[in-house]
Amino acid sequence: MIRVRRSAVIDAPLERVWAVLRDFNSHSAWHPAVGPSALERSEPPDQVGCVRDFTLKDGNHIREQLLALSDRDHASTYCILDATLPMRNYVATVQLKRVTDGDRTFWHWESTFDVPRGREREFEHLVGGQVYEAGFAGLAAYLRRGARSAAVLPAVESQGVVAMSFGGPEVLRLRRLEAPAPRSGEVRLRQTAIGVNYIDVYMRKGLYQMIEPPAPIGMEAAGVVVESNAPGLSAGDRVAYACLPPGAYVTMRTLPASQLVLLPDHVDEETAAALMLKGMTAEYLLHRTHRIQAGDTVLVHAAAGGVGLLLCQWARALGARVVGTVSTAAKAELAHANGCEHPIVTQNYSFAARTKQVSGGRGADVIYDGLGREAASENLAALATRGHWVSYGQATGALEPMSLGEKSGTFSQPVLFHYTAESLLPMAGRVFAALRDGTIRPDVRQRYPLAAAADAHRDLEARRTSGQIVLLA
Amino acid sequence: MIKVYTSSVIDAPADAVWARVRDFNGLPQWTPFVVDSRIEEGQPADRIGCVRNFRLRDGGVIRERLLTLSDYDYQCSYSILESPMGVENYVATLKLTPVTEGNRTFAEWWAEFDCAPERAQALAEQIGQGVFQAAFDSLKKVVAR
């Protein structure tokens, strides 16, 4: 058990300091190490039992619960529920006392917790220095700043790839746009890398009514904060997002901070742009829509594609037997090298017999289906009894209504943004952790200048690409 | 019941400050208003229950009994047995806490007592500022590095 104690004197009256600290979700506004933070279930920040879910600027992700709050003693006690750091049984107390001599505030911050043997000094230093002492300085600076005067910023020029109408790649044109000044809770980004996804093609064709041309398309990007009007983010922070509304194919963009994820040092912007939408898609498909168990047979379509490769790598690491469909022998080789034990080369969506064969006649316990209509009958045939058919895309057309009764099957039709709306930070945190430990290995093979987005679409639609595609701004 | 609370920051490590204030017979060495002091019946100054008998600059005599003393918490408390101040049921506590930032000391001194209502405000002011704060100011100079 480690005990960490730090204390300081803040040159402000106790009431001012306590007004900030009694708000359990205020830390992103004043603590220099804390990134975006949200209270779960939208509970008030003085609700004992409320949980704050936040990311540290070093990329770690933490959930903490308020255990006690006393306006009489000016004290608050909280514990860590989950953290990507190896800390256990962490309970901390913050207490303020009045310094009558000079009307200042004495602030005592103390905790006890366990860490793996041999790492005690490292964590004493981390918690005492980078959390508590940095917090003292951060709050003192925050109080000195006072009510931050929101400077009136102008809109700035941005270059963007716009779908001038619905149609082929030729409707994409580079146009001059504007990124408005960030309002309260927003930041303005200079984007450096933009992810290309198949949904962008649907959007451009007008298959998904997501834009009204002329409008910029695109769902994910990474970049650097230029101006911030939101707590938890400041100019120079590296961030990424995958969110609605469309409009990521631009050089400058203004977005709500709640949609952004801080990038840990080990994640570069190109990797983030390639990984936010596809990585979080793989995360929820394998951990949330269906929880993969070791020994499951998993069928992944487009196994050499942007999401497909990540699904193969991650499902394999979770102990699944991975069967995948691809269109060429070269893609089969690539999928195999990425954890797909049984790649099936097929141009006409014929894979059920082989899937049953490699699973001892059982079929697939879970099918990750981005194909849709053309593969529907084969998918039903390939599904194991009591299997789970997860339709997360419909590249060949919308599925017709059908019965899964012959297999006692379960059907899901998940949408990424319904998952990120509730769990953005934990999802991104798990993707970054999987990236760090090598569970997933993005493979950016195609890079295009932003102005050449139409070429990227042509290559994607002609199945000339594999792995992830990024546009560089 | 009147409550008085005074606190200050002393620019010296808590163990150094505690070495001064733990001596129940040491008021003449660090306060500006005590001329001399002795412990009655030849008791050690850190024996719980001992009584200090000291004389103020203005000639007044005060007798106080040591109630608690903690070298672990850097804290002591005492009650007044006799004084010219006109207080009843007077119990005071002095406590030190380390301030890790700058290796300084947060010093608290508080008292609870009863008195005639019309004297409450003046007594609170006299004890909080005239005694506790004045003693802290003197202590800051005594322990100055």
Q: How many CB pairs under 8 A join A and B?
A: 54
Distance from CA of A41 to the nearest CA of B (A): 37
Q: Cβ–Cβ of B99/A133 closer than 8 Å?
A: no
Confidence class of residue A397 from pLDDT cuts 50, 70 and 90? confident
Confidence class of residue A423 from pLDDT cuts 50, 70 and 90? confident
**What is the average pLDDT across A442-456?**
92
**Tell me: the pLDDT tens digits for A314-370?**
999 999 999 999 999 999 999 999 999 999 999 999 999 999 999 999 999 999 999
**Tell me: the pLDDT tens digits for B40-92?**
999 999 999 999 999 999 899 999 999 999 999 999 999 999 999 999 999 99
- Mean pLDDT (chain A) is 92
Q: Cβ–Cβ of B6/A101 closer than 8 Å?
A: yes
**What is the average pLDDT across B112-141?**
95
Tokens for A23?
Answer: 């708000």
Interface test with B, best of A73, A95, A103, A106 (most B CBs within 10 A): A106
pLDDT given at position A42: 77
The whole-angstrom separation of Cα A253 and Cα A205 is 23
pLDDT given at position A149: 44
Residue with tokens 């998918």: A379
Considering CB atoms only, which of B9, B100, B102 is closest to A99? B9
The whole-angstrom separation of Cα A200 and Cα A370 is 14
> Residue B93's closest CA among B5, B10, B1?
B5
Q: Answer for the pair A247, A253: CB distance below 8 angstroms, yes or no.
A: yes
> Residue B32's closest CA among B120, B144, B141, B123?
B141
What is the amino acid identity at position B97?
T
> Residue B14's closest CA among B128, B133, B108?
B108
Residue with tokens 């701004």: A473
**Global ipTM:** 0.91
pLDDT given at position B145: 54
Tokens for A335?
Answer: 């999928």
Q: Cβ–Cβ of B8/A100 closer than 8 Å?
A: yes
The whole-angstrom separation of Cα A379 and Cα A151 is 57
Tokens for B140?
Answer: 């800051």
pLDDT given at position A150: 47
Q: Cβ–Cβ of B106/A97 closer than 8 Å?
A: yes
DSSP string, A62-129: EEEEEEEEETTTTEEEEEEEEESSS-EEEEEEEEEEEETTTTEEEEEEEEEEE--TT-HHHHHHIIII
Confidence class of residue A145 from pLDDT cuts 50, 70 and 90? low
A403 in B contact zone (CB under 8 Å): no
Considering CB atoms only, which of B9, B100, B106 is closest to A5? B100
Considering CB atoms only, which of B99, B108, B128 is closest to A8? B99
**Tell me: the pLDDT tens digits for A52-105?**
999 888 888 899 999 999 999 999 999 999 999 999 999 999 999 999 999 999
Distance from CA of B50 to the nearest CA of A (A): 31
Tokens for A84?
Answer: 């990507």
Nearest 5°: the CA angle A56, A57, A63 is 10
Contacts of A101 in chain B (CB under 8 A): 6-9, 133, 136
pLDDT beyond 90 at A380: yes
Q: Mind listing the domains of chain A with CATH numbers?
A: 2-145 (3.30.530.20), 157-263+443-472 (3.90.180.10), 278-417 (3.40.50.720)
pLDDT given at position A147: 40
Interface test with B, best of A14, A74, A98, A101 (most B CBs within 10 A): A101
Pick the residue from chain B with its C-alpha nearest to A5: B100
Considering CB atoms only, which of B6, B9, B108 is closest to A9? B9
Tokens for A26?
Answer: 């205020």
**DSSP state letter for A40:** G
pLDDT given at position A39: 87
DSSP string, A128-151: IIIIIIHHHHHHHHHHHH-S----
**DSSP state letter for A382:** H
Model pTM score: 0.65
**Buried-exposed string A448-459: b where 16+ CB fall within 10 A, e elsewhere:** bebebbbebbbb
> Residue A273's closest CA among A261, A255, A258, A287?
A261
Q: Cβ–Cβ of A8/B5 closer than 8 Å?
A: no
Distance from CA of A97 to the nearest CA of B (A): 9
In sequence order, the 6+-apart residues with CB closer than 8 A to the CB of A252 are: A156, A157, A158, A179, A188, A189, A190, A191, A226
Please give the share of chain B, as a percent, with pLDDT higher than 90: 97
Please give the share of chain B, as a percent, with pLDDT higher than 70: 99
Interface test with B, best of A4, A5, A6, A7 (most B CBs within 10 A): A7
pLDDT given at position A294: 95
Q: Mind listing the domains of chain B with CATH numbers?
A: 2-142 (3.30.530.20)
**DSSP state letter for A250:** B
Considering CB atoms only, which of A7, A97, A133 is closest to B7? A97
Distance from CA of A75 to the nearest CA of B (A): 16
pLDDT beyond 80 at A148: no
